[in-house]
Amino acid sequence: MQSISPEIIFRGNNAWEKAIPQISKLIKSPLILGRSIHTNNLRNKIQRDLKNQNLNVNSANLHFDCCHEDISRLKSIILENNHDSVIAAGGGKVLDSGKYLAECLNIPCITVPLSASTCAGWTALSNIYTKNGQFIKDVPLRSCPKVLVYDHKFIQTAPSRTLASGIADALAKWYESSITSSKIDDGLVQQAIQISRVLRDQLLIDGEKAFKHNFENNPSWRNTIEACGLTAGLVGGIGGEKCRTAAAHAIHNAITQIIPPNKFFHGEIVGVGLLLQLRLEEMKNNNKLADQSIKQLLKLMNRLNLPTTIAQLGINVFENQNLDKIAEFACRDQSEIHFLPFKISKQDVVEVIANFEQQKITIK
Ligand SMILES: [Zn+2]
């Protein structure tokens, strides 16, 4: 079984206004889920608009992350108040929590991404973390959200840093899926990989223009936010679990074990993981193109003010056995790093990260 996409997608300017009549038909008593105080106004608007349609609406916030503590507290709120659905309005952690809660309680989830930092508004997947933001596991869900509302006016209110993070995460799709899945003899998977290549090209062409000119009337901005929030999700939907993540996300997951919570976005950490994955490919798979890819990516990442080293994520890998801790977690048995088509040992990861962090990255 494969859930390729949300059942209904509203996109563009005023997508929310267009979605209201449909949502009012589908549900009567939603819980609106959020987290950041910066998006309070938008969630209040969503709540007001639905109350005007005579829906019985409540709201609740994540206290920490998409973690068991928050999930079980929110589950009780939904059950006690007989909510018939979840509207998750926020970034990746909020969207993942809303989808996971809805799956556990067998009620529909409506996702309303409030930034372009993630494709979590689309996918049938939730990442579970500890309350301190340490990655625990990915949970595949039975289906994608019932409705996805990708309102450009909402997304425009997000800081440009969220867009840069979404670009880094979406770029990883090509570099991870092409190396793990290119030998899979399944037409849909191959086509998903091709879409991720087109997605990467779009971001290389439009990403910087979108980051610098965050306007709805800028076609580069529209293309880029839709690439990060929609197309990246479509790649996951069509490719399914065979269109896999690899070292970039494995290294992200490892870094979350030691990084202070909520200081950096998912995509910012994945971007660093992506550069390290390419170094691993160069070293272990003799991939001469990997170095070119690093140069190409570094140029864009510098222009988007994205971190390009673990040091820039606030971690000195040469202290507190951090290097060991990252390598250990990245190479644990169930890690995605082992989807790479060549063997990776803990020592390889230590070596690549140590070299990488010692280099001064000067490409501008
Ligand atoms: Zn990701």
pLDDT digits (tens, 9 = 90+) for 259-288: 988 899 999 999 999 999 999 999 998 888
Cα of 127 vs centre of ligand 1, distance in Å, is: 9
Cα of 249 vs centre of ligand 1, distance in Å, is: 6
Cα of 353 vs centre of ligand 1, distance in Å, is: 20
Cα of 267 vs centre of ligand 1, distance in Å, is: 6
Please classify residue 102 by burial: count the beta carbons closer than 10 Å to its beta carbon, then call 0-12 exposed, 13-18 middle and 19+ buried: buried
Average pLDDT over residues 4-31: 97
The least confident of 119-123, 183-187, 321-325 is: 183-187
pLDDT digits (tens, 9 = 90+) for 30-41: 999 999 889 999
For residue 280, the SS3 value is helix
Under CATH, to which class is 160-358 assigned? mainly alpha
Q: How far apart are CA 101 and CA 29, in angstroms?
A: 15
Q: How many helices (H) and strands (E) would you count in the chain?
A: 14, 8
Q: Please give the full DSSP string across 10-50, using - where no structure is assigned.
A: EEETTHHHHHHHHHHHH-SSEEEEE--GGGHHHHHHHHHHH
Cα of 252 vs centre of ligand 1, distance in Å, is: 9
Q: How far apart are CA 163 and CA 175, in angstroms?
A: 19
CATH of domain 8-156: 3.40.50.1970
Average pLDDT over residues 296-318: 97
| Strand-strand pairing, 147-151 and 8-12 | parallel
Cα of 311 vs centre of ligand 1, distance in Å, is: 20
* Higher per-residue pLDDT: 347 or 363: 347
Q: Which amino acid is at 171?
A: L
Residue 120 contacts residue 68 (beta carbons within 8 Å): no
Cα of 196 vs centre of ligand 1, distance in Å, is: 13
Average pLDDT over residues 123-150: 96
pTM: 0.96
Cα of 244 vs centre of ligand 1, distance in Å, is: 11
Cα–Cα distances in Å, from 223 out to 170, 198, 229, 238, 344? Answer: 13, 12, 10, 20, 36
Write down the domain spans for the chain.
8-156, 160-358
Cα of 263 vs centre of ligand 1, distance in Å, is: 16
Cα of 19 vs centre of ligand 1, distance in Å, is: 27
